Amino acid sequence: MFPEPGTSSLTATPAATAVFTAVLTEGPLSRVTLARRLGLSSAAVTKAARPLIEMGYLRELAATERTGPGAGRPASPLAVQADREFFVGVKITADELIGVVCDLCAEVRTAAHRPLSGTGVGDVLAEIGRLVGDLLDGPGGYRDRTHRLGLAVSGDVDRTTGLVRYSPFLHWRDVPLRERAASATGLAVTVENDVKALTTAEQWFGEGVGAESFALVTVGTGIGCGLVVNGRLVSGSYGVAGEIGHIGVDADGPECHCGGRGCVEAIAGTEAIVRQARDRSGRPDLTIDDAVALARRGDEGIGAVFARAGNAIGIGIAAVANLVGPARIVVSGEGLAAYDLFEPHIRAGFERQAFGAAVQCPLSIRPLPFEEWARGAAAVSIQTLVAS
């Protein structure tokens, strides 16, 4: 049952999917532990694992644990063979491509950036083709064991069909990206919204592992949120869920590009911060880096802009905690390069506005290197291999 490169799922039965997913996301597990965890018989686990071992996706580690007190036979835990297959992930932004090659455990093996001179679909696809070629044919020799490419794009994306319905930063409407990228690269392609891709990486390979529900909030140009409820990524009946950036937190606040007023993004998005910092400093050419530097040097006016932004984000996060009740919330994004300026205010806004016991929800606040977005895209393609 070798899968055709890139076309079919790796696992042929639900039991095999469950076994492989558990070992992939939780690390080495013995057959006995797997049987108990998944509610399967030991025989069913052994049967499910055998073809995966034969294909080289799982391997048996040296026996380290006994099956139980007095049981003579030591158990050999099953582990994922990380270099059995590689996956390319590419994040498409308005001015650059960020690409990575990940192994089966979503560890980044190599990464590259490419500037984009324009956002025309044909130009972007040609550059994706060159970037993928360079990543796969460079040192590392990943080409032979790579069949899948994940793409991450901001905006409204239909993962099932690979259609980008609308991406405001790229000015794309109804682009059949999966088909076009597949013919440009010869790989099987998945396309996902960038925040959802990042959430998938966190759910399978990060802080979301084992959590029934969690939320990932991203801070940067936009303020986004991926939600996992009952182990599933929430898409929303209208394709809109977790739009934390457009929760209104100040009825008298600034107008938002969405048409609303006082949205989190209108106060805490990168553009909003720059605009407020320019107003405060009277310097029309001030950049976000200038604003960060001034605030770190103790400029009170600019510091207040970051405090207001962090507070708005915290109130938005509290709304998520109050409504959904996730087990934990991860706050990340390129905007958190200025993490030190935001963090206390995010926490203060959250703690003030979270209702009752929701305040116990752990917030993990950390910066996000841009490669992580591309890794998220690769994680979606790994997920597709396991359970398409």
Q: Footprint of Zn ion on this chain (CB under 5 A)?
A: 246, 256, 258, 260, 263
For Zn ion, the closer CB: 149 or 272: 272
Least Å distance, CB 249 to Zn ion, is 10
Distance CA 159, CA 163 (A): 7
Instruction: Report how far residue 90's alpha carbon sits from residue 112's, in angstroms, rounded to the nearest whole number.
Output: 9
CB of 268 to Zn ion, least distance (A): 11
Minimum separation from the CB atom of position 266 to Zn ion (A): 6
Residue 138: name the closest of 99, 107, 105 by CA.
99
Q: How far apart are CA 322 and CA 332, in angstroms?
A: 20
CB of 246 to Zn ion, least distance (A): 4
Which residue's structure tokens are 């937190």? 249
Say how many CA atoms lie within 13 Å of 256 toward its Cβ. Answer: 25
Is residue 347 within 8 Å of 383, Cβ to Cβ?
Answer: no
Which CB atom, from 234 or from 263, has the smaller least distance to Zn ion? 263
- Closest contact distance (angstroms) between CB of 244 and Zn ion is 10
Give the start-end residues of each E strand in 28-176. Answer: 58-60, 65-66, 74-75, 78-80, 86-92, 96-103, 108-115, 146-153, 156-158, 163-167, 172-175
- Cβ closer to Zn ion: 246 or 345? 246
Nearer to Zn ion, 28 or 260 (CB): 260
Structure tokens at 35: 């049987």
Question: Minimum distance from CB of 214 to Zn ion (Å)?
Answer: 24
Distance CA 345, CA 309 (A): 8
**Separation CA 196–CA 242 (nearest Å):** 10
Q: Which residue's CB is nearer to Zn ion, number 268 or number 386? A: 268
| Distance (Å, whole) CA 211 – CA 203 | 8
Shortest Cβ distance from residue 260 to Zn ion (Å)?
A: 4
Q: In angstroms, rounded to a whole number, what is the distance separating the alpha carbons of residues 116 and 112?
A: 13
Residue 151: closest CA among 385, 381, 311, 353:
381
**Cβ contact 29:77 at 8 Å:** yes
Q: Which residues contact 292 (CB under 8 A, 6 or more apart)?
A: 337, 338, 341
Beta bridge partners of 108: 102
In one-letter notation, the amino acid at residue 326 is: P
Question: Is the CB of 38 or the CB of 247 nearer to Zn ion?
Answer: 247
- Angle, alpha carbons 103-371-271 (nearest 5°): 155
Compute the least distance from the CB of residue 224 to Zn ion, in Å.
Answer: 12
Give the three-class secondary structure for 228: strand
Q: Which is nearer to Zn ion, 71 or 258 (CB)?
A: 258
Nearer to Zn ion, 260 or 301 (CB): 260
**What's the CA gap between 9 and 200, in Å, rounded?**
18
- Taking the least distance from each CB to Zn ion, the nearer of 71 and 323 is 323
Which is closer to Zn ion, CB of 61 or CB of 258? 258
**Smallest distance from Zn ion to CB 297, Å:** 31
Nearest to 164 by CA among 180, 184, 183, 148: 180
Considering the complex, what minimum distance in angstroms separates the CB of residue 314 from Zn ion?
17
